[in-house]
Every structure is written in C-alpha cells, then in structure tokens.
A and B are shown apart, each in its own frame.
Chain A
Amino acid sequence: MPSNGPVTSSRALLAILLVALTIVTLWGCERHEKFDDSEIVESSSLGDQPIEPLPLTVDFDPARAALGEALFAEPRLSGDSKVACTDCHHEGHGLADDKPHSSVTGRPDSAVNSPTMYNVRFLYKLSWGGKYESLETHIDALMVNPKVMASSWETATKHLAEVADYRRKFASVFADGLTPSNVRLAILDYERSLVTPNSPFDQYLRGNAQAVSPEVKRGYAMFKSYGCSSCHQGVAIGGNLFERFGVLRDFFADRGHFDNADLGRFNVTQRDQDRFVFRVPSLRNVALTAPYFHDGSAATLEEAVTDMANYQLGRDLPERDRSALVAFLRSLTGEYRGQAL
C-alpha cells in the first residue's frame, strides 16, 4: 500500500487526540486538597481566670531560630557594625535593659526603657506607644531607624556575607542561602521562639496547687481584687490594650518633669485622648526586667507595684499586700528552653 506511512501517522495522531480528550474529561474532576487552616488561631476559651498559662510548645523553625539567635547578638546587623540587638535586650536581664534608658555607643540614649523580648509573639501591638502591629513591621522599622540599627537588610546581609560561617549556615538552612529576606526571617523565627512557659504560677493555673506558696496565692487574690487584672490579663498578663498612665492620680506631675516620650500613644496617633496612654506591658518575667515603666522610673518591683496602685487605682498599698503582690509577680518567671530564667 503506497499510503501506509501516512495512515500509520494518522493513527498515532488519533491516539494523541483520544488521550487529549481523556485529559479534558478528567480535567473536570475536582481536586480535593486539605487546606492548611492552622494560621488562623482559634480564640481561647473564655476561662474564669483573667490570666491564662503560656502554651508549653509553640511553632517555629528551630534551625532558623538558631541562626536568628546568633544574629540577635551580631553587631554586623547595624550600619556601623557596632550595635547588636543584645546591646539593649540583655540576655542576662530577661532580654530587657537594666538601665532606664538604653545607652549604646554611637547612638543617642533611647527615649524609653527597652522592654523584654520574651513572649513578644503574644503581644497584640508592639512598643510602648503600640506603633507596630507585628514583629515584622517592628523589626523592619528598627533596622532602618538611625537611632537604633541605622542599617538595612541589604547592608546587614553584605556585612554578614563577609563571614564564611554565616554563608555556610544560611546555605544549610535556606535553599537560597544568605539573602536579606532570609536574614529577616531568621531573626523573626528567633523572636517567635522566645517563649517562657511553665512558670510556677502557670503550673498553678494548670492545676498544680503546690507549685506556688500561699503568699503567691494571696498575692493573686490581691491582684484581682485591687483591680490590677482589669488591665494585666490574658496569656501575656498585659500587652493587649492601652491605658493612660495615671488614671486616678497624676504620675507626671508627681515625677516633676515632662518628656516627649511621656505622650506615649499620642506620638503614634496624634489624638488627644491618647496623651499619656501606653501599651499595658506584659507582666511575664517581670521580676527579671527592672527598671520599670516606659521611663524606667521604678527601680524595683516593689516601687512599681506601689506606683501602679497609687496612680492607676488611687490606693496606698499596705506592706502586707504589696509583698504578696510582689510574691505573685515573682511567680510569673518562666522557663526558657526548659531552664528556669
């Protein structure tokens, strides 16, 4: 047959067409994929207690967090390679500053006291004025802030690229190695890993009645009855609302001088009702992070408790109640990586 070749190729063509038809038919079939809904955090149960224990485990990438921990102490992140995060967030001081205002070489003193980095993932808004809505926006701003890191992710990455160890570590953790985006992600994962669960009081909340002393239990009762828990509540015992510093008495008048930083949230929103309004800080690990308040004006926990009762609640604390409250606050110091802080 002279046209044998073309007929064969036509058959092949037919076969291809049939396959295509089958694909078109199958294409209509629905694909069912499990949608990852874990990002949406379910709201916690409405417990009777104003305070909830910290979760014992949280999700983060350990390899990235390890890299981020190294970067946290790395001056190369800053524009002049002189300032590291740990210069203000001291590792031995609950990742807060032991001085009222952080003082770092080549930078003006900080306007406010550097707060702890522990449990930041549980804060609704960040900084004393609540300027940042997320860890991402917070760290992005600090990197380029000339008073803080005076750098950029690109600059920091360039500095880090000079160190072979970083290049190697990033290459082992990230598919695309050392990039500005990955430097940022590593630090963010470290920040998310900074959780301090299992404090004595959390153990008590979880049902271990022996975890805390009667004094602490009495302090907790004071904490609720005095009205501290009106603001310091939730899993972070604060950190989820703003409140005026000096509700019943004028703190700033008593302190005697006025600072722009005292305007608090007003500096963020420029709204009159936000003058002297601050983010209510978390009381987790509060025993480790003296001095207290945005201006670091309270050197000890006792002073801070006294000031709070005075200016926020309009009350003078009897010594007995104050020591119970302080005992309660000391029971809020948790564990980091299984070690008591």
Chain B
Amino acid sequence: MNVSRILRASLALVLAAFLGLLAYSTVESIDSAEEQAYGRDLRRVQAVTSELNERVLKSRSALMIQYDPLVHALHDLQRLHERLKHVPDFLGEDAAFDMQDQLKKSEAQLREKDELVESFKTHNSVLQNSLHFFPILANSVIDRARVAPHGATVASRIQALIAAIMLFDTSADAESSARVQAAQLDLSAEKQAAHALELDHELELILAHSRIILERKPIADRIVQQILAVPLPRMARALEEAYSRHYRSATARALLVRQILFALAFGTVVLGLTDVILRMRRSAQALQVATGELREANAALAREREKERQLGELKTRFVSMTSHEFRTPLSVIVSSTELLENYSERWEAERRMDHLERIRSAARSMDRMLDDILIIGRAEAGVLRPSPAQMNLEEFCRHLVESLEHSSARSHCIRYSFSGDPEVTLDERLLSEVVGNLLSNALKYSPPGSQVHFDVVANDEQCRFEVKDEGIGIPEADIPRLFQSFFRASNADQIKGSGLGLAVVKKALDVQNGTIEVQSSLGAGTQFVVRVPRDLSVSRSSSAEL
C-alpha cells in the first residue's frame, strides 16, 4: 500500500514535470519559419550592403544615372535592421540582448553610411554634370574662338585646360591638380581676349566647371572611399556569426529539453505501467486470499457438519447406552420383584433379603447413573456451579476411602496418605464426584488384592490428588477420548460401566478450575493426578474479578 502510494506520488510528480516542461518547451520552441526569415534577413544585410557599394561605384563612374537604386538599397537596409530588432524568442533573453547591442552598432554604421551617401549624391550630381557639360561647353567655345580673329590663344588655353582636366579625371594627384590650376590661371589671363571675342561669359562658365571638377572630384572620391570603408559588411557578418552561435546554443538547449521530455515521458509510462501491474498483482492476491478464506469456510462447514454428525451419533449412543444401562438394573428390579411377589411366602428370610438387596442395589445404581447424567447435563447446559465451603480434606478423603473399601467388600486395599493443611474451601459434592469416581474406577479395573495408592497433598495454593492403580491400564489410542461421555476403553468390555464416570470427573473439574493428567501403561496400571485450587471461593472471585 505504501509502495503504491509512493509510486503514484512519483508518477504524478514526473507527469507534472513532463507537462510543465512541455509547456515551457512550446513557448521556447524554435519557430523554423521565424528562424529562416531571421537568418535570411541577416544574410540580406550583407548582400544589400555590397549591392549598395556597387551602385555607389557605378554612380561615381556615371554608369548609373539615377539615385533610386541607392536610396532603395539604403531603405532596404533600414527596414532589415528594423526587422532584425525582433530577435526570435527561442534565442533567449541574453542572446536577444547581445543581438540588440550588435544591431545598435550596425545601425550606427548604417546611419553613417546614409549620411555619406547623401553627401556623395550631392557632390556627385554636381560633379557628373560638370564632367558631362565641361567638354561640350569647352569644345563649343574653342570652335567659336578658332573662327574669330585673335581667338587662337584662347582656344589653345581652353584646349590645355581640357587636357589638364582629362588627366585630372583619370588620376587626381597633386601633379595633375597643379596642372589644372596652372591651366585655369592661363585661361583666366585671357579674359580680356575673351571679352573681345564676346566669350567672357562662356569663359567664366568653363572656369567654374573646371573649378567644380577640381574641387569636387577629390571630395567625391574620398566619400566613395569612406562609404566603402564603413564596416557595415563586417558588422553584418559579426551579427550573423553571433546569431548562428546563439542559434546553435538554442538548438542544443531545445535538444536537451527534448531529451529530458522524452525521459520524463518514458518515466511516466514506466511508472504508470508499474502502477497498473502492481494493482493487477494486488487484485490477484486478494482473489487468492478470498479463495483461501472460502476454502477454509468450506472446511469449517464440513467440520461443523462432522461435529453435528458426531453429536447425533453421541445422542444415539447416549439413548441406546442409557436405555441399555437402565435396562440392566430395571430387569434386576423387575425379576426380583416378580420373584418376591410369587415366592416371598415360600422363601426364607435370607433369600428374600437377598432379592431386596438386589433391588436396592439396582435402584442405587440407576440413581447414581441419573446423578452422573444430571451432572453432565447441567455442566453442558452451563448451570453446574460449585458451592465451596469450609471442609476438612483429610477427613473427607478418609471417609471416602473407608466407604469405598466397605462397598468393595475389602477386596482391594487403598493406601491413603495425606499431607498439608487439611482445612480447605471446596465443593464437597463435586469433589466427591471427582475423587470417588477415580477411586472406584481404580478399584473396578484392578484385579482383586492389588493395591490402589491414593495420595493427597494440600499445599498453600492447591490440592493434589494422585490415584494410582495396578490395573488393566488404558490403551494409548483411547486416552484422548477418555473423558467423553459413554466412552469406554477398548479393553474394558468385560467390566460393567456406564462410560460416564470420567466424563463426570472432567466436567466437575472444569467448573472448579481443576486439571487432570493421566498416565497409563496397558496391563501395568493407571495414574491420575488431579489438581484443584485450595480455596475455590478465592479463585472464583479472583477469576470473576478478572
């Protein structure tokens, strides 16, 4: 019972742990769609960044003549960063914090890049316009100057500036820059000539555009370098690395959780199965016990029936025995009475007296038998109770011995001894039934002339009566049934007896809290030892107290 309670408690515990972990793992579970989207966004940051760089370079070299692709790339990067801020839940708080931190750094780089691109567009559009328009303008002015008188110098100066600008556009170093400045100075010196040619406005414009190129090309180139140098791709790679690191640990965590879940589920199943098996075994045991009880009940019933049968047998035997036992003295009485009736006048007195004595003896025997039956009946009905009274045990026993010796016509000698305090409190009538029956049996089953020992010891506690004869003895097999009513030992057939004497002894002793022991050897003699409490009133009251 205890084991099963522990089992069920642990089952509930394991089940609760299983369900709890299941709920937790559902919350923390890796959403593969979210994971894929996030990973793709991270990779897109790198891809879009390199696209942006490529477009900046294209814009710079006039391969791309609009800025929408630039702003779209920047816009995409901004939106990607915005989206990446929603770090997948399954990474855990620490990872999210780390990612947000990295994202902030990346966003700062993106802002820097955005500002640089803005600056680039501003300078590049002006530069591109000048690079495009300067040669057209310059060549048209050269054409006009050439056809005009005295315009050759102006034309050659413009030509020199074009050459210097073209060289500068190819390699913007200090030398080419100095050459452009020198060409600008040379051309500026021709302002008078240009005025004369009515080309002074155009000359100013040529110079302005050349100044723009001289000034803005290095700026635009520097900004492009700066744009390319913004470590946004590196940030993106770091972000992706951090993400895959966190993702790996999240996966490991999820795997662990799944393993634990599996173990818990397995444990739950095992515990549940054990519980079921234990219950089944217990019910099997209960069935076995019930079967045993049933069998025992059946056996008890059979025993009861056997007892009933024995009782019935006993009754039958009782009736037959009693009728038999009574018939013997009755027939003696009837025959003696008839004889006396017919022949009393003719018979002499002695013979009449003989028959009268027979009648009296038969009647006395019947009376004694009835007494015995009554005692047994009262004992069995539970109404036999001792009436203890002060008595002299020694005296009582002596009278009894004398009376028995007398009735046996002194064919036997009873060796009687007494020791101890003779003053006892016992039921004289019941005691006489016990001792009388034992002594008369001893006389009856012993050959004439043999000795019967009768030793009485009255100590402080109890009285001990020992009756020992040298008679026929009792077969050992008969000893257990010795005290049953009407039971007669198998070797006692030849000797008259009702089979009630020892039953009476036993019943009488039972109500006096007495005991009886028997020792016998067939043909050698029998010894009965009886013990009764010395003071029956005390022992009765004490037992009543109990």
Task: Return chain B residues, CB-CB under 8 Å to A39.
Answer: 79, 83
Separation of A173 and B165 alpha carbons in the complex (Å): 62
Q: A30 to B205, Cβ gap below 8 A?
A: no
Q: Is the interface of A mostly helix, strand, loop or mixed?
A: loop
Q: Is B179 an interface residue (CB 8 A)?
A: no
Q: Looking at the complex, which one of A37, A235, A277 makes contact with B68 (CB distance below 8 Å)?
A: A235
Separation of A225 and B78 alpha carbons in the complex (Å): 34
Q: B66 to A35, Cβ gap below 8 A?
A: no
Task: Return chain B residues, CB-CB under 8 Å to A13.
Answer: 272
Q: Looking at the complex, which one of A6, A233, A240 makes contact with B65 (CB distance below 8 Å)?
A: A233
> CB-defined interface of A26-44 with B at 8 Å, one 1/0 digit per residue?
0110111101010111111
Q: B68 to A35, Cβ gap below 8 A?
A: no
Contact residues, A204-228 vs B (CB, 8 A) = 225-227
Q: Is A52 an interface residue (CB 8 A)?
A: yes
> CB-defined interface of B50-90 with A at 8 Å, one 1/0 digit per residue?
01000100100001111111111111101110010000000
Q: Looking at the complex, which one of B78, B122, B282 makes contact with A242 (CB distance below 8 Å)?
A: B122
Contact residues, B79-105 vs A (CB, 8 A) = 79-80, 83
Q: B51 to A229, Cβ gap below 8 A?
A: no
Task: Return chain B residues, CB-CB under 8 Å to A18.
Answer: 269
Minimum CB–CB distance for B272 against chain A, Å: 6
Q: A240 to B272, Cβ gap below 8 A?
A: no
Q: Is A302 an interface residue (CB 8 A)?
A: no
Q: A35 to B72, Cβ gap below 8 A?
A: no
Q: A240 to B71, Cβ gap below 8 A?
A: yes
Task: Return chain B residues, CB-CB under 8 Å to A240.
Answer: 66-68, 70-71, 121
Residue of B nearest to A279 (CB): B118
Q: B79 to A40, Cβ gap below 8 A?
A: yes
Q: Is A107 an interface residue (CB 8 A)?
A: no
Q: Is B24 an interface residue (CB 8 A)?
A: no
Q: Is B540 an interface residue (CB 8 A)?
A: no
Q: Is B262 an interface residue (CB 8 A)?
A: yes
Residue of B nearest to A231 (CB): B125
Q: Is B192 an interface residue (CB 8 A)?
A: no
Q: B32 to A31, Cβ gap below 8 A?
A: yes
Binds B, one of A177-185, A243-251, A319-327: A243-251
Q: Is A108 an interface residue (CB 8 A)?
A: no
Q: A35 to B22, Cβ gap below 8 A?
A: no
Separation of A11 and B121 alpha carbons in the complex (Å): 75
Residue of A nearest to B117 (CB): A241
Please report the number of residue pairs spanning A and B whose Cβ atoms sit closer than 8 angstroms: 150
Minimum CB–CB distance for A88 against chain B, Å: 26
Q: A227 to B36, Cβ gap below 8 A?
A: no
Task: Return chain A residues, CB-CB under 8 Å to B69.
Answer: 43-44, 46
Task: Return chain A residues, CB-CB under 8 Å to B299.
Answer: none
Minimum CB–CB distance for B132 against chain A, Å: 6
Q: A124 to B71, Cβ gap below 8 A?
A: yes
Q: Looking at the complex, which one of A24, A46, A231, A248 makes contact with B64 (CB distance below 8 Å)?
A: A46
Q: Is the interface of B mostly helix, strand, loop or mixed?
A: helix
Q: Known interface pairs A10-B275, A17-B268, A124-B71. Does A314 touch B76 (Cβ–Cβ under 8 Å)?
A: no
Q: A248 to B67, Cβ gap below 8 A?
A: no
Q: Is A230 an interface residue (CB 8 A)?
A: yes
Q: A10 to B22, Cβ gap below 8 A?
A: no
Q: Is B44 an interface residue (CB 8 A)?
A: yes
Q: B65 to A244, Cβ gap below 8 A?
A: no
Minimum CB–CB distance for A37 against chain B, Å: 8
Q: Known interface pairs A10-B279, A51-B66, A273-B119. Does A40 touch B44 (Cβ–Cβ under 8 Å)?
A: yes
Separation of A277 and B475 alpha carbons in the complex (Å): 144
Q: Is A3 an interface residue (CB 8 A)?
A: yes
Q: Looking at the complex, which one of A37, A243, A273 makes contact with B125 (CB distance below 8 Å)?
A: A243
Separation of A234 and B66 alpha carbons in the complex (Å): 5
Contact residues, B398-435 vs A (CB, 8 A) = none
Q: B33 to A32, Cβ gap below 8 A?
A: yes
Task: Return chain A residues, CB-CB under 8 Å to B74.
Answer: 124
Separation of A141 and B378 alpha carbons in the complex (Å): 122
Q: B121 to A241, Cβ gap below 8 A?
A: yes
Separation of A152 and B122 alpha carbons in the complex (Å): 35
Q: Known interface pairs A17-B272, A33-B33. Does A52 touch B66 (Cβ–Cβ under 8 Å)?
A: yes
Contact size range, A: 35 or more
Q: Is B343 an interface residue (CB 8 A)?
A: no
Contact size range, B: 35 or more
Task: Return chain B residues, CB-CB under 8 Å to A44.
Answer: 68-69, 72
Q: Known interface pairs A17-B269, A52-B68, A230-B128. Does A43 touch B73 (Cβ–Cβ under 8 Å)?
A: yes
Task: Return chain B residues, CB-CB under 8 Å to A33.
Answer: 33
Q: Known interface pairs A41-B72, A44-B69. Does A24 touch B121 (Cβ–Cβ under 8 Å)?
A: no
Q: Is B390 an interface residue (CB 8 A)?
A: no
Q: Is B379 an interface residue (CB 8 A)?
A: no
Q: Is A2 an interface residue (CB 8 A)?
A: yes
Residue of A nearest to B35 (CB): A30
Q: Is B307 an interface residue (CB 8 A)?
A: no
Minimum CB–CB distance for A183 against chain B, Å: 23
Separation of A17 and B12 alpha carbons in the complex (Å): 12
Minimum CB–CB distance for A266 against chain B, Å: 13
Q: A10 to B276, Cβ gap below 8 A?
A: yes
Residue of B nearest to A236 (CB): B68
Q: Is B261 an interface residue (CB 8 A)?
A: yes
Task: Return chain A residues, CB-CB under 8 Å to B122.
Answer: 241-244, 277
Q: Looking at the complex, which one of B119, B261, B282 makes contact with A3 (CB distance below 8 Å)?
A: B282
Task: Return chain A residues, CB-CB under 8 Å to B129.
Answer: 227, 230, 313
Q: Looking at the complex, which one of A11, A17, A41, A46 makes contact with B76 (CB distance below 8 Å)?
A: A41
> CB-defined interface of B235-267 with A at 8 Å, one 1/0 digit per residue?
000000000000000000000001001100100
Q: Is B538 an interface residue (CB 8 A)?
A: no
Q: B125 to A241, Cβ gap below 8 A?
A: yes
Q: Is A253 an interface residue (CB 8 A)?
A: no
Separation of A255 and B72 alpha carbons in the complex (Å): 36
Separation of A226 and B132 alpha carbons in the complex (Å): 9
Q: A124 to B75, Cβ gap below 8 A?
A: yes
Q: A3 to B280, Cβ gap below 8 A?
A: yes
Q: Is A21 an interface residue (CB 8 A)?
A: yes
Q: Known interface pairs A33-B33, A40-B76. Does A2 touch B286 (Cβ–Cβ under 8 Å)?
A: yes
Separation of A242 and B114 alpha carbons in the complex (Å): 12
Q: Is B511 an interface residue (CB 8 A)?
A: no
Q: B265 to A20, Cβ gap below 8 A?
A: yes
- In the complex, besides A3-B282, A24-B265, A44-B68, 11 extra interface pairs with C-beta distance below 8 angstroms are A3-B283, A13-B272, A14-B269, A17-B272, A20-B19, A20-B265, A24-B261, A31-B33, A40-B79, A40-B80, A242-B121
13 contacts between A and B (CB under 8 A): A17-B265, A20-B265, A21-B265, A24-B22, A35-B36, A41-B76, A46-B63, A49-B65, A130-B118, A230-B132, A234-B71, A277-B122, A314-B209
Cβ-closest 10 pairs across A and B? A234-B68, A33-B33, A227-B129, A241-B121, A233-B66, A230-B129, A124-B71, A230-B125, A3-B283, A43-B72
